[in-house]
Amino acid sequence: MVVYLRVVKDYMTMSNTIIERMCAISTKMREDSSNSLELSKEKLRKAGSDLKNLENTLGLSRMQVLFLTAIVQKSCRFRIDGDDISSYLGMDYLEFLTYSGEMDGLKKKGYVRIDNEGHIVMPPEVLRSLKDNKPVEPEVTSGLDTARILTRIRKKLSILSNNQMSADETRAEIEFLFSENPDTSVSRACRKRLEKVWDDERLVFYVLLYRYYYEDDDMVGWNDMDDYFEDEDLDNLKGSYAVGQLNLQTEELIEYSGQDGMLTKDFFKIKDSVIDEVLADVGGVKKKQVAMGASRKISASAIPPKELFYNPSEARQVAMLDDLMSEKRFAGIRATMKEKNYRTGFTCLFYGGPGTGKTETVYQIARRSGRDLFLVDVSQIKSCWVGESEKNIKEVFKKYRECVKTAERVPILLFNEADAIFGIRKEGAGSAVDKMENSIQNIILQEMEDLDGILVATTNLTTNLDKAFERRFLYKIRFEKPSVEAKGRIWRSMMPELTESEAIQLAKDYDFSGGQIENISRKKTVKALISGVEPTFAEIREYCDEENIDDRKPARRIGF
């Protein structure tokens, strides 16, 4: 945030606010024909009343007021250091170093932060206070509950990760909060449980606590600790962990972690029994996410936004699904369906050629509606062992039902390229494989009947889809290759440097899906990075020709 110190002619009018007094000090003490100040007796006498006022208002010494004035003046810069301050105050850097105690005092009072490399940072909230004509209020450290202590821990770890506080200072400040608020569950448990744990390991514990409480992360690796420790300290921690000699391990405070019940030494977490004790005031252990077996979870917040282009029919149907899936609509619609004795599950089939946006549409609907996505891995469902495949598919639906019950928003169960298991059932199946596939399909059909959630299936081959499945999909959207107009918009979105006429020309000349256009855009980007030169329009056309892997030439228009 930039603060401009105005040049003031009438000094007597400059005596109201903190910033105005700093401006007056800067003006009265400025050295002739220079932007730096002069700390002479005469200049200090001229600014004496403003200096005295700020000393009393801010609770600072005279030199601290001058340092703070210089820091505010320089706060428009990304980084400032002692050399910037000494230059502005017209002193040698060596002289500035003799005032290190004054700078430490500013830091302790919360006016500035100083990172490990000596860079001086004015926190935005401090600058806002000064602009609002308020001195920085000391941070309240007592009378906090567990939730507010956890908020402070998050803030202090953020400051540490930005190199504006040392690891020792961070740990000490967190533990000071515990001593000031001894009756909270987080204070009681941490002081008791960490009594025999070394300093650096205690900081590891606080990071794990922060990750669990604020990021729902109970699979933390050492790479997640990079921002909080010096390289040598982190290497020592890793070495002790590898041989099971961390105090956190011997005191049974942490354990290995993993997914789907598969634990690995690469990840670790605080033990549930310890979390329960530490977070007793705020509910203890959170409800665990249910492992989905033959599927993987993709959090809605982890899905990056992506602009998609549809033909009019697809756009209308996708917009309707967006409306249905929105939180404000979905619960009410389900309640009404239940009142009318209709099934409350919603099943959708997205079908059409490859690269037409089927799967990405599911992802974007999930992102916009805030619904987690469970992507079923068809390859893990089918097993060579008799009866195992049926168990796998039953387990997927069982776990999904559990997720529906515990999740804040009903998640989406996605069967991608679903024709592999939603195919036509075989009449008079004789082989074990045919019987197994029919059995899987019967289970899915029954689960779709009983579904109390959202299931989406995508497929390229609708001719392979069994009619019984087709009837059970409430919504069916056919994804066609984009029209010329839609393809033109896709070309422009992928390559903004194309003119509108060039984009339309490519759209007319090449019958590409959105996925193919993206391939060409990626190839163009790689070429530009390697050569340092943007490919020409002619080269882009060559990439289009290369995208067709058969011997057919693209249809070219004759004329203009």
Backbone angles phi, psi at 254, to 5 degrees: -125, 165
Residue 129 near residue 196, CB atoms below 8 Å: no
Task: Give the Å distances, CA to CA, from 471 to 443, 480, 553.
Answer: 15, 21, 41
- The three-class DSSP label of residue 121 is strand
The dihedral formed by the CA atoms of 360, 366, 369 and 374, expressed in degrees to the nearest 10: 170
- The number of distinct structural domains making up the chain is 4
Residue 141 lies in a domain: no
Give tens-digit pLDDT for 494-546: 888 888 888 898 888 888 877 888 888 888 888 888 888 888 888 888 888 88
> Closest Cα partner for 117 from 82, 151, 152?
82
| DSSP H or E run through 414 | strand 412-415
Residue 553 tokens read as 């030439």
Model confidence at 549: pLDDT above 60: yes
Residue 62 lies in a domain: yes
Span 246-270, average pLDDT: 85
Model confidence at 485: pLDDT above 90: no
Give the pLDDT of residue 423: 67
If asked whether residues 115 and 185 sit together in one domain, one would say no
Residue 334 tokens read as 């389900």
131, 165, 182 - which closes a domain: 131
If asked whether residues 388 and 468 sit together in one domain, one would say yes
Span 452-479, average pLDDT: 84
CA 399, 401, 405, 410 torsion: positive or negative? positive
Give the pLDDT of residue 418: 77
What pTM did the predictor assign?
0.45
More confident residue, 550 or 84: 84
- Tokens 């009018």 found at: 13
More confident residue, 353 or 144: 144
Give tens-digit pLDDT for 150-172: 999 999 998 888 887 889 889 98
Give the pLDDT of residue 121: 77
Give the pLDDT of residue 440: 83
Amino acid in position 325: M
Q: Which residues pair with 535 in a beta bridge?
A: none
More confident residue, 279 or 383: 279
240, 261, 286 - which closes a domain: 286
Q: How confident is the model at residue 211 (pLDDT cuts 50, 70, 90)?
A: very high
If asked whether residues 122 and 154 sit together in one domain, one would say no
If asked whether residues 448 and 383 sit together in one domain, one would say yes
Give tens-digit pLDDT for 342-393: 888 999 999 888 878 899 999 999 999 999 998 887 666 665 444 567 877 8
Model confidence at 556: pLDDT above 80: no
If asked whether residues 167 and 272 sit together in one domain, one would say yes
Q: How many CB atoms lie within 10 A of CB 22?
A: 24
Give the pLDDT of residue 530: 85
Give the pLDDT of residue 15: 52
Q: How many helices (H) and strands (E) are present in the chain, helices listed first?
A: 26, 10
Q: Which residues pair with 258 in a beta bridge?
A: 263
Give the pLDDT of residue 382: 61
Mean pLDDT of the chain: 84
More confident residue, 225 or 355: 225
Residue 560 lies in a domain: no
Residue 503 lies in a domain: yes
- The three-class DSSP label of residue 6 is coil
Q: How confident is the model at residue 438 (pLDDT cuts 50, 70, 90)?
A: confident
Give tens-digit pLDDT for 422-436: 766 666 555 666 677
Span 279-294, average pLDDT: 67
231, 257, 286 - which closes a domain: 286
More confident residue, 198 or 140: 198
Give the pLDDT of residue 131: 87
Model confidence at 139: pLDDT above 90: no
Q: Which residues pair with 352 in a beta bridge?
A: 479
Give the pLDDT of residue 275: 94
Give the pLDDT of residue 511: 83
Residue 137 lies in a domain: no
* Strand intervals (E) in 58-100: none
If asked whether residues 276 and 305 sit together in one domain, one would say no
Model confidence at 186: pLDDT above 80: yes
Pairing of strands 113-114, 346-352: unpaired
- The range of the structural domain enclosing residue 118 comes to 11-131
If asked whether residues 474 and 340 sit together in one domain, one would say yes
Give the pLDDT of residue 427: 62
Give tens-digit pLDDT for 55-96: 999 999 999 999 999 989 887 766 688 898 999 999 999 999
If asked whether residues 456 and 312 sit together in one domain, one would say yes
Residue 56 lies in a domain: yes
If asked whether residues 338 and 436 sit together in one domain, one would say yes
Model confidence at 6: pLDDT above 70: no
Cβ-Cβ contacts under 8 Å for 509 (sequence gap 6 or more): 541, 544, 554, 555, 556, 557
Q: How confident is the model at residue 200 (pLDDT cuts 50, 70, 90)?
A: very high
If asked whether residues 433 and 449 sit together in one domain, one would say yes
Model confidence at 302: pLDDT above 80: yes
Span 231-253, average pLDDT: 94
Residue 559 lies in a domain: no
Residue 434 tokens read as 């045919």
Model confidence at 559: pLDDT above 60: no
In degrees, rounded to 5, the angle at the alpha carbon of residue 455 between the alpha carbons of residues 451 and 456 is 155
Look up the CATH number of the domain holding residue 354.
Answer: 3.40.50.300
If asked whether residues 495 and 456 sit together in one domain, one would say no
Span 267-292, average pLDDT: 81
If asked whether residues 450 and 386 sit together in one domain, one would say yes
- Of 275-279, 365-369, 480-484, the one with minimum mean pLDDT is 480-484
Residue 555 lies in a domain: no
Model confidence at 310: pLDDT above 80: yes
Rounded to an integer, what is the distance from CA 185 to the centroid of its chain? 29
Backbone angles phi, psi at 518, to 5 degrees: -65, -40
Q: How confident is the model at residue 196 (pLDDT cuts 50, 70, 90)?
A: very high
Give the pLDDT of residue 528: 83
